[in-house]
């Protein structure tokens, strides 16, 4: 055995030993945070080509458990990513040192009905909570686009480019400021800051889960650019999984018998007459 093979075997043994000592969080907790890696394409079982967003969701670990008695509500706080101690503020650094945990770059809380079975240090296994065919909601911050006009910001159609109106093609149009109140009402759709806000895309189908590399492939696009931190959780919609329509295969002999019986049933009333 060469030196490289020996090192690889030792690393694999250490990884397996660490995995055996780390406790897993309850599989009913279907919430992770991760980093948007980018987009790719995947073929499904029917041969359809789907656009897929790749999210590196893990390893995520339970950092803190909040209870009603102490904090006023039940929630589980999870951490994702690594960060140097010098990059943390003093409250966060003090918390991690007090609880003897490695610092986490990103933390998110998710409210739960009961915190029984949760404790700090548990690891969330991506393959245990999400399967291909599940529906999830993805939250993230969309791209910032600065100051945008009404057409780009709100999807306005624009005005006709005829009769010499060269400066009105992308104008927003009338603001209805001369009616009874004599002012522009709040909420009027106009030009302004566009993007860089939190957004949730509901009911995205899970195409593939790579638990070994902590990757989850989601159908379509998710909020944000590459490197954006997103939250992936079980969908709030009523339908949680893809419904597969099962068709029953009928042999040729059974189909011929059924057709013969149908013809006989149709010819019976005519024979009686």
- Taking the alpha carbons of 253, 254, 257, 258 in that order, is the dihedral positive or negative? negative
Question: pLDDT-derived band of residue 18, with 50, 70 and 90 as boundaries?
Answer: very low
Distance of CA 164 to the CA centre of its chain: 48
Question: pLDDT per residue over 214-252, tens digit each?
Answer: 999 999 999 999 999 999 999 999 888 887 666 666 677
For residues 117-126, b (16+ Cβ closer than 10 Å) or e, as one string? ebeeebbbbb
Quick one: pLDDT at residue 139?
A: 95
- Closest among 42, 240, 243, 19 to 130, alpha carbons compared: 240
- pLDDT reading at 166 higher than 90: no
Question: pLDDT per residue over 46-82, tens digit each?
Answer: 889 999 999 999 789 999 999 999 999 999 999 999 9
Q: What is the mean pLDDT of the chain?
A: 86
Quick one: pLDDT at residue 19?
A: 47
Is 138 in contact with 31 (CB distance < 8 Å)? Answer: no
Q: What are the angstrom distances between the C-alpha of 190 and each of 150, 159, 184, 213?
A: 5, 15, 10, 45
Question: pLDDT per residue over 101-152, tens digit each?
Answer: 889 999 999 999 998 989 988 999 998 999 999 999 999 999 999 999 999 9
Question: pLDDT-derived band of residue 210, with 50, 70 and 90 as boundaries?
Answer: very high
Quick one: pLDDT at residue 241?
A: 85
Which domains can be identified in the chain, with CATH numbers?
20-139+201-246 (3.30.160.810)
- pLDDT reading at 16 higher than 60: no
Mean pLDDT of 157-162: 87
């Amino acid at each position: 055995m060469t030196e490289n093979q020996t090192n690889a075997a030792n690393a694999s043994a250490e990884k397996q030993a660490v995995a055996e000592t780390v406790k897993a969080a309850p599989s009913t907790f279907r919430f992770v945070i991760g980093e948007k890696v980018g987009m790719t394409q995947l073929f499904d079982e029917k041969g359809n080509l789907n656009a897929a967003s790749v999210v590196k969701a893990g390893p995520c670990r339970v950092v803190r458990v909040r209870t009603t008695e102490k904090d006023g509500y039940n929630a589980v706080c999870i951490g994702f990513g690594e960060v140097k101690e010098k990059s943390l503020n003093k409250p966060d650094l003090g918390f991690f040192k007090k609880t003897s945990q490695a610092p986490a770059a990103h933390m998110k809380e998710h409210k739960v009905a009961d915190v029984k079975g949760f404790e700090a240090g548990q690891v969330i296994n991506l393959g245990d909570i999400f399967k291909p065919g599940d529906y999830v909601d993805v939250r993230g911050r969309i791209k910032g686009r600065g100051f945008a006009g009404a057409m780009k910001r709100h999807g306005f159609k624009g005005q006709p480019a005829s009769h010499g109106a060269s400066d009105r093609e992308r104008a927003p149009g009338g603001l209805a400021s001369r009616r009874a109140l004599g002012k522009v009402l709040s909420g009027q759709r106009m030009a302004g800051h566009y993007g860089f806000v939190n957004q949730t895309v509901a009911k995205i189908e899970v195409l593939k889960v790579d638990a070994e590399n902590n990757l989850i492939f989601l159908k379509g696009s998710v909020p944000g650019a590459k490197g954006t931190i997103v939250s992936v959780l079980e969908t709030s919609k009523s339908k949680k999984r893809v419904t597969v329509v099962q068709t029953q295969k009928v042999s040729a002999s059974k189909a011929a018998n059924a057709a013969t019986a149908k013809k006989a049933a149709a010819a019976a009333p005519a024979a009686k007459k």
